[in-house]
Chains A and B, each alone.
Chain A
């Protein structure tokens, strides 16, 4: 508040854009691979594109406070749409592009969206399907005209035409645009994001300009991000993280946002682009490591030995170098040699050569996985956050990186743990409210501004870092009164590359049981190398040798769980391997790939009964739904296995 002038000048995203356009007119703001070539737009060009679209929105009759829904993959034009919407005082509402029509209908109805900006025919079709039920929806703007020549164009406009119409009436509309830009300030809504909703209907989280800009500014400073940095925007636009990285931080630090050619080419584009700032969920890092391991197993003996030799060395030295700890000269030399021969080329293949700051969050990350990337010299850190906090609650500082904690409070964040172990925070990024839902707002955020995270955790005394155990409501009690923390066990299981997902049950029971999902890439490759024939996921999952391997993993996890004093009761007594992959389309996972334990428990109740009933196999039939809404069903007979358990550790008196 010392510098009143700059604080008032830069309190909205469009104002940050104007600053960037005048301060860095020729620096790249956006890149996109189109027709096989990277196209780029400078900050000056970006400002022009956004202005044209904002004028077009005025021409279409967008009112102050309207909601504009945006649906599609990460493309510069859709990011511009968000800022153009903000420029005319409307609220951008990005949606998940793989959401089915019903899910979209709920959100569009809830925020009374008047306009939708959609990427292509696929998205437009979904909206046309539900259009009759949406009374407020006025028109749809689309980016890619392909396949829509014959559509009724009375309420359907092409993005380019909207811009052109805006430009042609610039003289009349410009005063209105300037007026709308001026009246907005720190309190104006910046964006509304719908939470994935691990339970119940999604809620619209309202974030103000102050939330986004303050968070963007302080966290960019935390990692000293600047105009020279670049990021690859490939995560769903509807996710708060993407909004913070690609808008909040990008506009604050003026770094470049690059969009991949398509979702499938992301890995390749990453390699070509070599971003300096990178975020990926743990699952992405897991997949990447699995791919590396599989390809190394297919490599020749000499390469394998070289890989093992240098990677083992790097595993010891790499993290020390990253943390700035002293390392002997010979070790350093050997590490450099390894860098030339192994780790350097590997990093390049993974597209991580230039990564200066890498973050992961969302789920716990396995220590081996974490060490692998850090041994390559990649500064991979963890953060902890949620939509309601504009992402950042805690993050790990350079030199304070560990696998089992999530870091110290981010700049400006205060933390509190209540007597039940639930984590509360108060921060500049803390959301304004849930849209049209005062009851939930009151339940989550109290009068003093403390927000409940719903996670149980504790702050480590010596380091001040936060450690998360589980969702507070998932932490339960077993029949004998000992603590039940399913995620703690699930995460340990998921650290094995053969296990993609695990769901552990045991609240209020005598013992714990688990559903396992195998990882088709890893297990499939293993099957190939061992000449095991299979024709489907289901057949592979039911293979006795696969069961044998998974049983081994479960028993190792039991051993490790038994070491923990508080949680030794969570050892798994029986398990089965599911016949289908858990999927967001079937409601079993959220769109951000988190398992919905209760829904799974209800859906597969027959399996749970069998697990607790002591049977050795069970026949089951499951309904599956495809992305376009059609339904089918699969049936299977699943084997159930008992596992060895360890004696429980004595609870310290």
Chain B
């Protein structure tokens, strides 16, 4: 299959041209090679998963995508342009948002306020008018609050709107974090192990939300996940990494029958 152009998924969605291309990325920390010469792309509107055993370099890859790490070799192309090294807030302005493996919310703030912080890149009024809460700042808050309320409705978390997130159970905190990332209205949403530590029911809920986000807002999603069952169910295409190298790339079915992937997950005897 030619992956350069748009394609149609098994369930009949049309996927657009690539929004992000990783070309021959190599990332080193001193003498340790975390990522070795990896290339893949993420198409507009698809759900792209990156999987691999512990220490395969998945989170490093995600950090390269969101511009937190700068690879020593290789190029990152975003929406048809080669991306120069940037600060995280500049990247956020370009339309990237992410969630974290270990939840990074403001524990003492309410769900509503936490999601509101995700709107930061959409606020343009200056600090003085925000402090006075007057004029443009007021209109802006109303408009942003509406977006946040739509997300609260979307994620079905109306009951915890005013609850400090530190008091919420883990599964709900993950959902709030997804809400905060969505509030930025990202073009590309990065999810770092969205289902880690969840029970079956919470995983089902989260999968539904991820699919709905993709379906409803047309958001392109790149996610890292351990749970193979979940990945194979929701992803359109999967990149498999092992020891910093790409060992497989394709649809879930292709990946599932790839011998190198099977060996990496089940182990092979070296004799």
Check if B205 is an interface residue, CB within 8 A of chain A.
no
User: Which residues of A sit under 8 angstroms from B161, Cβ to Cβ?
Assistant: 36
**Contacts of B152 on A, CB cut-off 8 Å?**
35-36
Residues of chain A within 8 A of B93, CB atoms compared: none
Interface 1/0s, chain A 226-268, versus B by CB < 8 A?
Answer: 0000000000000000000000000000000000011011001
On whether the beta carbons of A147 and B146 are closer than 8 Å, the reply is no
In the bound complex, do residue A150 and residue B13 qualify as a contact, i.e. CB atoms below 8 Å apart?
yes
With A35-B146, A35-B150, A35-B153 known as contacts, the answer to whether A150 contacts B158 (CB < 8 A) is no
A447 at the interface (CB under 8 A from B): no
Q: Does A146 contact B (CB under 8 A)?
A: yes
B229 within 8 A of A: no
Specify which chain A residues have a CB less than 8 angstroms from the CB of B150 in the assembled complex: 35
B263 CB within 8 Å of chain A:
no
Complex interface residues of chain A between 468 and 518 (CB less than 8 A to chain B):
none
Residues A149 and B215 in contact, CB atoms below 8 Å apart: yes
CA distance A103 to B208 in the complex (A): 25
Expressed in whole angstroms, the minimum distance between the Cβ of B216 and any Cβ of chain A is 6
Closest chain A CB from B20 CB (angstroms): 24
CB <8 Å contact, A36 and B158: yes
State whether A150 touches B146 (Cβ < 8 A). Answer: no
Q: Which of B11, B146, B216 contacts A146 (CB 8 A)?
A: B216
Q: Which residues of A contact B153 (CB under 8 A)?
A: 34-35
Q: Which of B145, B154, B216 contacts A149 (CB 8 A)?
A: B216
Q: Which residues, 154 to 202 on B, are CB-close (under 8 Å) to A?
A: 154, 156, 158-159, 161
How near does chain A come to B160, taking the closest CB pair, in angstroms? 9
The answer to whether B212 has its CB under 8 Å from any CB of chain A is yes
**Which A residues touch B11, using CB under 8 A?**
150
- Cα distance, A146 to B212, chains bound together (Å): 8
Contacts A35-B150, A150-B11, A150-B12 hold; do A261 and B158 have CB atoms under 8 A apart?
A: yes
What distance in Å separates the Cβ of A402 from its nearest Cβ neighbour in chain B? Answer: 37
Docked-complex contact A35 and B215, CB < 8 angstroms: no
Q: Which residues of chain A have C-beta atoms less than 8 A from B159's C-beta?
A: 262, 264-265, 268
B140 interface contact, C-beta 8 A:
no
In this complex, what residue of B is CB-closest to A34?
A: B153
Q: Mark interface residues in A1-35 (1 if CB within 8 Å of B CB, else 0).
A: 00000000000000000000000000000000011
Tell me which residues across on chain B come within 8 A of A35, comparing CB atoms.
Answer: 146, 149-150, 152-153
Chain B residue with minimal CB distance to A262?
B158
Determine the distance from Cα of A150 to Cα of B14 in the docked complex, in whole angstroms: 12
Nearest B residue to A36 via CB reads B149
* List of B residues within 8 angstroms of A36 by Cβ: 145, 149, 152, 158, 161
Determine the chain A residues whose CB is within 8 A of the CB of B149 once the complex forms: 35-37
The CA of A34 and the CA of B149, in the complex, are separated in Å by: 9
Contact with A along B212-226 (1 / 0, CB 8 A): 100110000000000
- What are 11 A-B interface contacts by the 8 Å CB criterion? A34-B153, A35-B150, A36-B158, A146-B154, A149-B215, A149-B216, A150-B11, A150-B12, A150-B215, A262-B159, A268-B159
Other 15 A-B pairs with CB < 8 A, given A150-B11, A268-B159: A34-B153, A35-B146, A35-B152, A36-B149, A36-B158, A37-B149, A146-B212, A146-B216, A147-B211, A147-B215, A262-B156, A262-B158, A264-B159, A265-B158, A265-B159
**Chain A residues engaging chain B, CB cutoff 8 angstroms:** 34-37, 146-147, 149-150, 261-262, 264-265, 268
